[in-house]
Amino acid sequence: MRFADYAHSLIGLARTIYHWAGEVAALDMTRREKIALYAEEIAATLARAANALSILEISPNDRSAMMAATRELGRISGYVETIVTALEQHLDGRKPAGVKRRLERLEPFELEAALVEHGAFRHAKRLTSAEGFFRALADALRA
């Protein structure tokens, strides 16, 4: 999978889960807070990955930044799966199934090759966009 496709899929997942905010608002406060915390953690993870990509834009051979970006991006699927599991009983069965299908498409990618192909800044912008959706979800759940 190309990194551009990976980033595009992340934005799609973020948008989809954000659109569930209305349905999720009916959950009890404890469960909403749990989901909000995971959404914030996803957003923070995306921010750290985008920061590492920004470093790579300036210093393409920075191995620690490459490892940081790879590590942070590797966490995303697990967090999203946790949110979906927490919501599974409260959403129409097609919605969690659709997200799970999208998660399956988040195949591993070769970050170094992606950066050579398109540069780091372009990808950092996409991650920042997905970060915004997850922060908005957390805010909506606490409103």
| pLDDT at residue 142 is higher than 80 | yes
User: Which residues form the domain of 101?
Assistant: 3-142
Number of domains in the chain: 1
Q: What's the DSSP call for residue 97?
A: H
List pLDDT tens digits, range 90-127: 666 666 666 666 666 655 556 666 565 556 566 677 78
| Predicted pLDDT at 95 | 63
| Predicted pLDDT at 88 | 67
Amino acid at 125: K
Handedness of CA 10, 22, 81, 79 (dihedral sign): positive
Average model confidence (pLDDT) across the chain:
76
Q: What is the separation, in whole angstroms, between the first and last Cα of the chain?
A: 37
List pLDDT tens digits, range 2-11: 666 777 777 7
Give the largest CA-CA distance in the chain: 48
Q: What is the CATH number of the domain that holds 137?
A: 1.20.120
